Structure 1
Amino acid sequence: QYVDEIENFMNDLNDDSFDARIASGGGRMQITMDRYEANWPMVEEGWNIHVHGKGRQFASATEAIETYRNESGVVDQDLPGFVIAKDGKPVGTIEDGDSVILFNFRGDRAQEICKAFDEGEEFDKFDRGNKPDVKFAGMLQYDADLNIPKKYLTEPPKIRYTLTEQLVKEGINEYAISETQKFGHVTYFWNGNRSEKFDDNLETYVEIQSDVIPFEQRPWMKSAEITDQLIQAIESGEYQFLRTNYPNGDMVGHTGNLEATIIGVEAVDLALGRVIKAVDKVNGILLITADHGNADEMYDKPKADEKVHKAKTSHTLNKVPFIVYGADVVCKQDDNLGLSNIAATVCELLDVKPNEHWNESIIEKK
């Protein structure tokens, strides 16, 4: 529907002096949009498709999408790459002198393709072939510490007063762990779109390498390996605040595969059971929550002209749980409470003064 609208709109604009069209594309889990350097071959395939026009050819984006769906029933995020061509030639390769704008607002899936355009001879992730000399800019600067990208259209948001900043001031030793798919969520995003640590001595990062395989084929992902190392860290007594992200409900949920998603959620259940035992062992406190829904709603309600339920592969707007384990507290019941209240909650449980700019704590001590 949306691609038809875009292509029809551009066709109405085009004349002898102006030619706008979709030139290439593909699903974010197949080409171009890797994150946290988990799978550079994805970026390489996207580069060859978008820049050099090397890929399966179609007359239009609509034809490409409909063909792939009919061939394999693939959902949008898993669409293989495609190139729009006329008379056997790509309609829109990227050439010397072109301007290229990456319209991503969010930074995690934008950074690797930015490096491919921005970096010179030092780039060693894949062979870019005849790299075109272009003017490249991102929507904003996705990582100010690493200067990615060098040119951008709008100033990135300045995120201040993060939880890590407050804990570092108090000398709290922190530990962050996840597998590659969510490693940046407990480090880069957590610290306010910042790759660098606030304090190298007080922050420990551990990344478990994700498998490069469709998530529905191994829905347990790296939950066991994450838990192994997290338990060691808990029981070591070295850290006062530890955090992790289990990606299963999100990443497997995005596949739209109900059976695989159930297994993924069960894997997290098993992991949490092990974590609870470790928390009990050190007389600690465990907080469990999520940043959005996904696996809670696996199918869209059919529209009037549809006979079957379609897999829902997007995040949901349902409320998420917030569970406090191991502390004698009461959670406030207020519909206005949300993720922005968690920082003050953590500080209250650590007997640390919360930042004055934060929203209130979720808990009340008995």
Structure 2
Amino acid sequence: MTTPGQQLFPEGIPTPPQDAGVFRAQSISGEAHVQPAARFTGKPLTPLVLLILDGWGVAPASRGNAITLARTPNMNRLMSMYPTVTLHASGEVVGLPWAEMGNSEVGHLNIGTGKIIYQNLPMINKAISDGSFFRNDAFLQATAAVQERTSKLHIVGMVSPGGIHSSQDHVFALLEFFRNQGLGKEVFVHAILDGRDTQKDAALKSIAKLETKMHETGVGTIASLSGRFYAMDRDNHWERTEKAYNAMRHGRSEHTTDSPLKAIEESYRQHIFDEEFPPTVVVGVDGKPVTEIGDNDVVIFFNFRADRARQLTKTFVLPTFQKFDRGTPIANLMFITMTEYERNLPVTIAFQPDHARFNIARMVSEAGMRQLHIAETEKYAHVTFFFNGGSEEEYAHEDRVLIPSPRVISYAETPEMSVRAVADRIIQELQHGRYQCIVTNFANADMVGHTGNLQAAIQAIEATDEAIGRVAQQVLNMNGTLVVTADHGNAEEMINLQTGEIDKEHSTNPVPCIMANSLLASQRSLWPPVLDGNLSSLQPVGVLSDVAPTVLQLLGIQPPSEMTSRSLIR
């Protein structure tokens, strides 16, 4: 048994052949950095192990940086001997909103597929900015249906700047779209109020902005208001959904108003804020609802997150719905959802999921190579489902191994988790020689980082480093290739240095990427040095999705054109 802090992999490395290639770091824009450049012409050295360190970010040393506080001789030696860069792992370059911290799901999607997989919010925002939103087929179908049927168009969704389930910018864009299409008085908005992902009383400002936008565009009338407690329940409290449905569908509620803003102000005076705002029907001067959702109408539900949009959607669209009495069925209703809320719902989807057809696993399989995906329980889905582009499919010659995670209340109790068992199995499989490619995840930095226990996180990092050294020793002794990277940061920011408070969240920091084999070792001097394991002085030269084409090139596999990111090898 080894002890944390022990250096394991060999001092010596094979002498590279004369035609060994040189790595050239690529920036996000594709412009080369200052390193000398040449083609990588060496023969692929297999087996290749892709080792993803979950939650292992890069940041300057600090009292809250568990990674720099830990003893990591094996990572330090890898970085000193082999080409090493840092990669962006958060925000728009991994498909998330600007400045949003990375996460394991998005990280593995990007690493595995070799392209930026845009998540729903930035995908729709991008469509608005590039104009494709205003050519969206589903919205054009909605316009045509309303005009042909002489019916009404209902925009349903949470009018909120929160950006978690919806964005009020999206409803504003819809109003502009329908103005351009010549609609106006036919459009009605059924506004859901937030109060959970925003301040409890943010709706007053949001609804005022909505009314201003309606006035500017000449499109739309607010038809109903409802707190998300009712309209966005996800826990089968169907009595809540029923109240929101009745307000929208039948114009029926215990609460009515002729002024949405006055209704919200009155609710605040009663200390009922946005989230619990009761479903309220807007009425005209005659005291009757300004509209109801009826036969031949069109509904657009503009929430982009699925989990809290499903119940209300099913209430409208499922022909066999039996959770409560919906009244007379709506005939010929066209229902459009912003994104896919659930497979096989009878709806039109405005923005289809960004499925990646190609990924490392598929390409390795099609090349006839055997591969193993292995992780402990906490990260097993990430090296399988997410790494394979959001698909449960196991490709030909792909095997999977799940190592159980410890059953403890907190991983601070067992900071080593199951990393030694995962490393044991990898080494065993390498020795058996069955696989040309192994994909694995070491979970410790992330899962122990989430506990907020700094000392436990330091122990987790040291246990991880020990396992890295053991795997490195085995694969490099076999003249194979080791690629070490991470999906996002976490353990490098355990203390908020501004407030002094414990920080359990992910970070927006870059992550390391080390590419190690005997053909590349002699080129290490062409890259900026990494002294004492300090990567924070290096500027990121790529993004997570650059890992896939890099791995494929190291395996001698031509990346498909759908992998729009670039290999770090030139």
Band of TM-score, shorter chain: 0.5 to 0.7
1:188-229 superposed Cα distances (whole Å, 9 cap, x missing partner): 1111111112x2x31111112223432223222211221121
Ranked by relative contact order (alpha carbons within 8 Å, sequence separation 6 or more), the top structure is 2
State which drifts further: 151-160 or 338-347: 151-160
What residue identity is the alignment partner of 1:320? V
Q: Which residue of 2 aligns with 1:266?
A: 462
- CA distance in 2 between counterparts of 1:175 and 1:20 reads 48
1:246 positional shift: 0.9
Q: Which residue of 1 aligns with 2:405?
A: 210
- CA distance in 2 between counterparts of 1:241 and 1:190 reads 14
Q: Which residue of 1 aligns with 2:550?
A: 345
- CA distance in 2 between counterparts of 1:294 and 1:233 reads 30
| Residues 313-328 of structure 1 mapped to structure 2, 5 A cutoff | 313-328=504-519
Q: Which residue of 1 aligns with 2:379?
A: 182
What residue identity is the alignment partner of 1:218? T
Judged with a 3 Å threshold, the aligned counterparts in structure 2 of structure 1 residues 277 and 149 are, in CA distance, closer, same or farther, namely farther
1:281 positional shift: 3.9
For the 8 Å contact 2:375–2:403, the answer to whether it is kept is yes
Name the SS for the 2:374 alignment partner.
strand
Q: Which has the larger radius of gyration?
A: 2
What residue identity is the alignment partner of 2:381? G
1:97-155 superposed Cα distances (whole Å, 9 cap, x missing partner): xxx999647xxxx7xxx8xx99xxxxxxxxxxxx95699x9974489xxx488877742
Judged with a 3 Å threshold, the aligned counterparts in structure 2 of structure 1 residues 157 and 224 are, in CA distance, closer, same or farther, namely same
For the 8 Å contact 1:292–1:315, the answer to whether it is kept is yes
1:258 positional shift: 1.0
Q: Which residue of 1 aligns with 2:474?
A: 278
For the 8 Å contact 1:249–1:295, the answer to whether it is kept is yes
Q: Which residue of 1 aligns with 2:199?
A: 6
Judged with a 3 Å threshold, the aligned counterparts in structure 2 of structure 1 residues 148 and 292 are, in CA distance, closer, same or farther, namely farther
Name the SS for the 2:368 alignment partner.
coil
What residue identity is the alignment partner of 1:271? A
Judged with a 3 Å threshold, the aligned counterparts in structure 2 of structure 1 residues 102 and 18 are, in CA distance, closer, same or farther, namely closer
2:420 to 211, 224, 232: 224
What residue identity is the alignment partner of 2:382? H
Q: Tell me the TM-score normalised to structure 1 length.
A: 0.61
Name the SS for the 1:298 alignment partner.
coil
1:311 to 487, 502, 522: 502
| Residues 5-44 of structure 1 mapped to structure 2, 5 A cutoff | 5-10=198-203, 18-20=225-227, 22=229
Over aligned residues, Cα RMSD in angstroms? 4.4
1:268 positional shift: 0.7
Count of aligned residue pairs for this structure pair: 277
What residue identity is the alignment partner of 1:360? R
What residue identity is the alignment partner of 2:447? M
Judged with a 3 Å threshold, the aligned counterparts in structure 2 of structure 1 residues 18 and 141 are, in CA distance, closer, same or farther, namely closer
What residue identity is the alignment partner of 1:313? K
- CA distance in 2 between counterparts of 1:5 and 1:141 reads 24
Judged with a 3 Å threshold, the aligned counterparts in structure 2 of structure 1 residues 309 and 47 are, in CA distance, closer, same or farther, namely same
1:167 positional shift: 1.6
- CA distance in 2 between counterparts of 1:258 and 1:183 reads 25
1:264 positional shift: 1.3
What residue identity is the alignment partner of 1:314? E
Judged with a 3 Å threshold, the aligned counterparts in structure 2 of structure 1 residues 351 and 19 are, in CA distance, closer, same or farther, namely closer
What residue identity is the alignment partner of 2:558? K
1:171 aligns with 2:368: yes
- CA distance in 2 between counterparts of 1:5 and 1:246 reads 35
1:325 positional shift: 2.5
Q: Which residue of 2 aligns with 1:354?
A: 559
1:158 to 355, 360, 363: 355
Structure 2 unaligned blocks of 5 or more = 1-161, 163-194, 208-223, 241-270, 278-300, 315-321, 327-335, 529-538
- CA distance in 2 between counterparts of 1:149 and 1:327 reads 53
- % identical equivalent positions: 32
1:243-282 superposed Cα distances (whole Å, 9 cap, x missing partner): 1011111121122221121111112112112212221342
Name the SS for the 1:215 alignment partner.
coil
Q: Which residue of 2 aligns with 1:254?
A: 450
- CA distance in 1 between counterparts of 2:488 and 2:337 reads 26
Q: Tell me the TM-score normalised to structure 2 length.
A: 0.41
Name the SS for the 2:556 alignment partner.
coil
